Amino acid sequence: MTTEAGQIRLRPPGNRVDQRAIPWWRWQLVLSAVTLAVLLVVPGIFIPPARFWLVLAAVAVVVIAVPLAALLPLWWYRVHRWEVTGTAVYTRTGFFFQESRIAPMSRIQTVDTERGPLQQRFGLATLIITTASSAGEVTVKGLDGEVAAELAHRLADITKLIPQDAT
């Protein structure tokens, strides 16, 4: 949304990420916790005096990870938003600290999609918008793979039509 002077202003984006992002985030947390637990237990095999403490630490990781994997993705789904208008890309992300970003079309330099193996399994993708900003790229994680590809093409088409470059 723009103001009367034509300036883009910060506002909440209107679209949620795909609902399949919830199990995708859960699997990311579970795999990270399992990896950490294994990395703690394996040295205990070779260092018997430390075995108890390493196994205890691994159990603590799993005990903490289970409720986090159950609850955090639900919270993230409620927070993460995105929207593309004719003038800008709006995003809101964050876990405990939320970040809202606006990328004016005239500042967009490249648009990419990324799909890791786990994202591919869930049919999801990440849209990466590189801008002429010191804040770095704008990313929208947890989009349907086809939606992300369509958005990338749409953004590329829109930015071609912008006569001025704000970089």
Report the distance separating Cα 131 and Cα 88, nearest Å.
Answer: 11
pLDDT at 132: 82
- Rounded (10°) angle between helices 21-46 and 51-79: 170
Report the distance separating Cα 114 and Cα 107, nearest Å.
Answer: 21
pLDDT at 4: 47
What does the block give as tokens for 54?
Answer: 């390493």
What does the block give as tokens for 88?
Answer: 């800008």
From the options 3.90.580.10, 3.65.10.10, 2.30.29.210, 1.10.10.10, give the CATH code of 82-161. 2.30.29.210
Mean pLDDT by 10 residues, the chain (167 residues): 56 91 97 96 91 95 96 94 90 88 88 95 96 86 96 89 62
What burial class does residue 87 get, using C-beta atoms within 10 Å of its C-beta: 0-12 exposed, 13-18 middle, 19+ buried?
middle
Model pTM?
0.84
Tracing tokens 């849209």 back to the chain, one arrives at 127
